[in-house]
Amino acid sequence: MNMRYIVLSLACVLASSVVTVAQTTQKFQATKANDYGLVYSLPTTVLDVTVVAERVVKRPGEFYMYAKKYLNVSDPVSEPSESWTVKKVIVNARGVANGGERYLMQFKGGTAPYVVMDNADLPVAINTEDVVLPEAPVLPEPVGLSSTPLDTEAARYVISEEMLQSQSSAKRAELAAKRIYELRQSRSDLITGQADQMPPDGTAMQIVMDQIGAQEAALTAMFVGTEQRETAVKTFTYIPHDEVTRYVLARVSALDGIVDSDDLSGDPITLSLNITDRGKMPVNDKGETKEFPKGGVAYCIPGAASVKISFRGETCWEGSMDVAQYGIVFGLDPKMFTDKKAPAYLLLDPVTGAIKELGTK
């Protein structure tokens, strides 16, 4: 008898009481009401690929041509530019219920085994509520572009009347550089206690130091330019099937940041996948393939794959993982879960459907 059982309505078979184990799990009992049978799906492994991209906006300062002469800066921002690049890729595997096939666990009458399901309707345990579910990954938060690259209040203070009146950019640059060195000297005097007028306390000292720092930064930006950054975060889901060498997950546009794979304005973020192992049917002591037990509790013997995410020729993420799709489904004898002396318990991996732990209570 084939224990794979296609059903139209899971609710019709699980017509028993539901007991909440935790916010993320539910407990289903095998009782007479459902003919001591429980129907469930095993997972399909999917990959959530989170792309963290950074935008850099650069603007030249008014005196960039004099940066080397006055500040000994050889690489100031000389022209405006905007660019996006991939800073980080995070890959998380999770399981989703394969609704196309469901499996029937058939127990003998008069017993009361139970199955614990997670929020994705996947079995995670039998005969035990001691379940530790995978934690959701902690993803970076998007960070918007700052509203202004400079402290405009500080900039008003550092532009002297002489600088405003001068018609020569060279002269204005000279005056700005002179003011930078004056500010640095003032900071040094405050730190060493040699200033003519020292702040009365630590709080006042910090305020003065902050003002000096803001004014120096505003003047320095006139030579070296400004740079603003923002971060975008977007997640794409990929379902592994066959091996691939260059699947385009998404793209990164120089103007729009992370865009969909069909937006040809961006450079592609590609995924390559190589199947490194396929699940094999278990064999007995004679090397013969075991038969699926009658009414067996189906689980997955997963395969494995290596995955690499690339952008502009550089590897952003690389790793190996177990994948349910590259494995096979086998079963455990349901009698072990209804043994009156030592009933078995089972923990399943919700990502692959593989056995994590099997023992007796």
Determine whether 334 is exposed, middle or buried from the number of CB atoms within 10 Å of its CB (0-12, 13-18, 19+).
buried
The answer to whether 206 and 191 have CB atoms below 8 angstroms apart is no
The tens digit of pLDDT for each residue in 103-123 reads 887 777 666 788 898 988 899
The answer to whether 156 and 211 have CB atoms below 8 angstroms apart is no
Rounded percentage of the chain residues whose pLDDT exceeds 90: 58
Q: Where residue 24 falls among pLDDT bands split at 50, 70, 90?
A: confident
Q: Where residue 161 falls among pLDDT bands split at 50, 70, 90?
A: confident
Give the residue from 353, 356, 333, 350 showing the smallest Cα distance to 113.
333
The tens digit of pLDDT for each residue in 120-140 reads 889 999 999 888 888 888 898
Contacts of 134 (CB under 8 A, 6+ apart): 94, 350, 351
d(CA 43, CA 302): 11
Helix or strand (DSSP H, E) at 68? helix 67-71
With H, G, I as helix, E, B as strand and everything else as coil, classify residue 256: coil
The pLDDT of residue 154: 63
Give the residue from 249, 239, 316, 307 showing the smallest Cα distance to 275.
307
Radius of gyration of the chain (CA): 32
d(CA 238, CA 244): 12
Q: pTM (2 decimals)? A: 0.80
d(CA 24, CA 257): 35
